[in-house]
Amino acid sequence: MKNEQTRMLQNTLQTAKWAFSTRRVQRTDASQLSHDLAQADSGDLVLGRVLAVGAHPRLQLKDGRPSDLYEGDLIVVACGARYASDQFEGIAVLSDEGADLLAGGGCLGQMRQRHAKMKMPTRVQVIGLLQDADGCTLNLARYATPLAAPSGVLTVIGVVGASMNAGKTSAVASLVHGLEGAGYRTAAIKVTGTGAFGDWNAYEDAGASFVTDFTDAGMVSTYLQPVERLEQALQHLLGAAEQAACEVAVVEFADGVLQRETAALLEKPEVRGQFAGFLYATPDALAAVGGQLSLQRLGIQPAALTGLISASPLNALEAQAATGLPVLAREALRDPAQAASLLHSLSAEAVAC
């Protein structure tokens, strides 16, 4: 009887749409379902059925393409929380009454707040939590890449920002492109945020030799995770970049420098000490001034400003005058000579310190 139930479940899972966040999961590990939703934890694998299509009309699939969602679609996603000031804030809670698709990459939970521009989230009926033959709930942590501690040979550059959509990902991709053009084998890393393929694809399109993010460390989202786990994830990802024979890693921190998990990481001297330097992405001059002050309180003096501010010459001039920092547009970061010069400058400063 149990073998028959497993066979039926596997047949069902074959017809489901598997989200990007589940890309490392071995489907054949799923043998049964648990309906004890009160025990759901962040990263647990969930089989659900779409009840109503809302703010996220597409699900990002394991193969890197978006799939239109229809009412009745079966999906496999991960239970998780999300912090996105321009979209949703939600927690890793599931209910028999339904759950909310908090991110198109496959993060399912309970919405608590939403931006005024956002529709209500796509609503999902939770069919059950996926379990193995021993009754253990499948969690993304089971499928994390092998842990490898970094030795410190990488030159690590951080990119932080004023907020969501400040231009961080574009800056990372542009700098990666420039460094690769200058002959450096470069890793692009997303250390905090919510699992989705947008940033990942941008890094790959820029020509990164190696791409990884916190989902490879076993998390669907870093929101509300203990800072110790996030610090371990950073070590995990830097170690993987070293194993991929990279010389440089460009690391993106999600959202703004005031966001809980990003701030908690940057507050740790042992974390900051691994970085040769930081770029700060900002939308305007006033945010540049405020961000510089916030970073200085953490002992960080950004090497340059970047992001959306570079689209406005007047904003850039105001920011340069107020902060004393240069503004680097993505075109400058993409230039191999300028990217190499920035790397050399940061490396020299790190050695001097």
- In tens, the pLDDT along 48-62 reads 999 999 999 999 999
Whether 351 has a pLDDT exceeding 90, the answer reads: no
Report the percentage of the chain scoring pLDDT > 70. 99
Whether 206 has a pLDDT exceeding 90, the answer reads: yes
User: d(Cα 206, Cα 226) in Å, to the nearest integer?
Assistant: 32
- What DSSP element (H or E) covers 263? helix 260-266
User: d(Cα 75, Cα 351) in Å, to the nearest integer?
Assistant: 50
* φ, ψ at 191 (rounded to 5°): -100, -25
User: d(Cα 329, Cα 83) in Å, to the nearest integer?
Assistant: 27
Residues 215 and 140: beta-carbon distance below 8 Å:
yes
The pLDDT-based confidence of 231 (bands split at 50, 70, 90) is very high
Check residue 11 and report its DSSP letter. H
Check residue 284 and report its DSSP letter. S
Whether 215 has a pLDDT exceeding 70, the answer reads: yes
Whether 196 has a pLDDT exceeding 70, the answer reads: yes
304 and 191 in a common domain: yes
296 and 335 in a common domain: yes
Residues 235 and 149: beta-carbon distance below 8 Å:
yes
203 and 73 in a common domain: no
Check residue 221 and report its DSSP letter. B
184 and 85 in a common domain: no
Mean pLDDT value of segment 214-235: 97
Q: Which of 119, 143, 167 is the last residue of a domain?
A: 143
Model pLDDT, residue 353 = 59
DSSP letters, 120-172, are: PPEEEEEEEEEE-TTSPBPBGGGGPPPP----S-SEEEEEEESSTTSSHHHHH
- In tens, the pLDDT along 2-55 reads 688 899 999 999 999 999 999 999 999 999 999 999 999 999 999 999 999 999
Work out how many domains the chain is built from and give that number: 2
Strands (E), 165-309: 186-190, 210-213, 248-252, 277-281, 304-306
Residue with tokens 């399109």: 205
- Mean of pLDDT over the chain: 96
10 and 58 in a common domain: yes
**In whole angstroms, how far apart are CA 106 and each of 80, 102, 136, 196, 332?**
9, 8, 21, 8, 34
Cβ-based neighbours of 280, under 8 Å, separated by 6 or more: 160, 161, 162, 257, 288, 291, 292, 295, 302, 304, 305, 306, 307, 325
User: d(Cα 128, Cα 203) in Å, to the nearest integer?
Assistant: 34
200 and 166 in a common domain: yes
287 and 192 in a common domain: yes
202 and 339 in a common domain: yes
* Residue 171 burial (CB count, 10 A): 28
User: d(Cα 142, Cα 72) in Å, to the nearest integer?
Assistant: 29
Cβ-based neighbours of 341, under 8 Å, separated by 6 or more: none
Q: Which of 120, 143, 166 is the last residue of a domain?
A: 143
- In tens, the pLDDT along 283-294 reads 999 999 999 999
User: d(Cα 87, Cα 92) in Å, to the nearest integer?
Assistant: 16
Extract the tokens encoding 121: 């989230």
Query: In sequence order, what are the beta bridge partners of 128?
Result: 47
- In tens, the pLDDT along 154-169 reads 999 999 999 999 999 9
Q: Which domain holds residue 137?
A: 2-143
Domain with residue 200: its CATH number is: 3.40.50.300
The pLDDT-based confidence of 352 (bands split at 50, 70, 90) is low
Largest Cα span, the chain: 74
